[in-house]
Structures are given as C-alpha cells and as structure tokens.
Amino acid sequence: QKEVEQNSGPLSVPEGAIASLNCTYSDRVSQSFFWYRQYSGKSPELIMSIYSNGDKEDGRFTAQLNKASQYVSLLIRDSQPSDSATYLCAVNAGNTPLVFGKGTRLSVIA
Amino acid sequence: NAGVTQTPKFRILKIGQSMTLQCTQDMNHNYMYWYRQDPGMGLKLIYYSVGAGITDKGEVPNGYNVSRSTTEDFPLRLELAAPSQTSVYFCASSYSVFDRNSPLHFGNGTRLTVT
C-alpha cells in the first residue's frame, strides 16, 4: 500500500512569514511529486510539481525534493491570507494514478 | 473550454437508493478518475480508466461501479447507498499518467449525503 503522509495541521503563520509544509512517502520508486491547493468547498488545483532532487522555485513557492529521505516539502514565502487553504501532497510512480496525502491546513493570520 | 463537468453538485439519498454521478470532459483526455474526499481527509481513488472500454479499481471501489463507453464520459454508479458513502466526489482527467507534465484536471465535485 503506497502511503503519503502529511501533518494535518492546522499550521498557523503570520502574514509575511514563510510557511513550510512537509510530506513523506513510502514508495521508493515514486518519480513525480505534486502540490495541490484546495480552498474550502472547492476542487484541488495544481500549484507545483517536482521530479528531481533539489529545489524548484515558482514565484513565492518553492518545492524541495529529497528522494533518499523520501521527503518533499513546499515553502511559501511572504505568506498572504489568500494562501489560507489545505495543501495536498500527491505522488505517483510513473504508471499509476496519483496517491494523495490527507493534506495540511494552512492558516495565514493577518 | 468547459474542462471537467460533474453533475449533480449536491444530492441527498436515502439508504438503499441508487444513483449515477455524471462526469464529462472535453479535453480529449485518455485518463479519467473518480476520487472521494471525506471531511479532513485527502483524496482516495475509487476507480480509474485509461481509455474507452477500460476501467480499473482504485483504493476504495466497494459499493461503486463505473463504465467508460466514450472518451468523454465516465459515470460513477452507486448501488444500495450506505451512510459510509456520504462524501464529496471528484472526477478528474489527465492526458496520461506517464507524462510528468500531464496534471490532473478536476471537476467541481458532487457533495453526496446518504441518510
């Protein structure tokens, strides 16, 4: 059973701070890693993907991947109240559908 | 471009009733999926399809059935609804699972309550 683990939170950060969201996965053959954002009552939307070890930056978002430790993280710089949402980590091994974690609820306090 | 369209948006069923959740995509995607999301939980895969005429079970298929007669449509059938099937159901599609640049496109979800 492939598992993706996330701290459910809530993670509370002040406006302007860095939010750090973490995810671990059990399947060592996993190849692709995704972060989805889900606002309350809405469907998930893709915000970042990462495939290689290291960092990948996109605006205020940075995804970090360490395959040896089976760990992927998402950093949100200069957090805004509009970033308040649940962040879902998703993993796939290349030929199977995505496996999602339970999500981390982020609350950015103005 | 409509993307992935799910109907209905909301539904209340009595225990033992049956219903079909409709899902249509207009992006010519080969892959389609049904996920369910319980409160405070992530998405769990119910069924998926890699193309017309081909379906496969996901993590939680019991109590559900699917069919894929066309590329566009992937309905989810609930037989003998049970309270444990109260959830939000998301249909999604993608061009491929092999293509890293092929993200999931989600519908807006169907909120189902079984009482």
pLDDT digits (tens, 9 = 90+) for A75-88: 999 999 999 999 99
B53: left (phi over 0), alpha (psi -120 to 50) or beta: left
Q: Which pLDDT tens digit goes with each residue over B14-28?
A: 999 999 999 999 999
Torsion angles phi and psi, residue B105, rounded to 5: -110, 125
- What token pair was written down for B79? 């037989």
**pLDDT greater than 90 at residue A106:** yes
Q: Is B113 helix (H, G, I), strand (E, B) or coil?
A: strand
- Judged by a CB distance cut-off of 8 A, whether residue A43 touches chain B is yes
What confidence score (pLDDT) does residue A27 get?
Answer: 83
What confidence score (pLDDT) does residue B1 get?
Answer: 66
Q: Is B84 helix (H, G, I), strand (E, B) or coil?
A: helix
**pLDDT greater than 70 at residue A72:** yes
pLDDT band at A8 (very low <50, low <70, confident <90, very high): confident
A100 CB neighbours in chain B (<8 A) are 35, 42-44
With CB atoms and an 8 Å threshold, state whether B45 touches A99: yes
Q: Which pLDDT tens digit goes with each residue over B42-71?
A: 899 999 999 999 999 999 999 999 999 999
B103 CB neighbours in chain A (<8 A) are 34, 46, 49
- Judged by a CB distance cut-off of 8 A, whether residue B44 touches chain A is yes
Nearest CA in chain A to B45: A99
Nearest CA in chain A to B103: A46
- Judged by a CB distance cut-off of 8 A, whether residue A3 touches chain B is no
Closest-CA residue to A26 (of A49, A6, A45, A56): A6
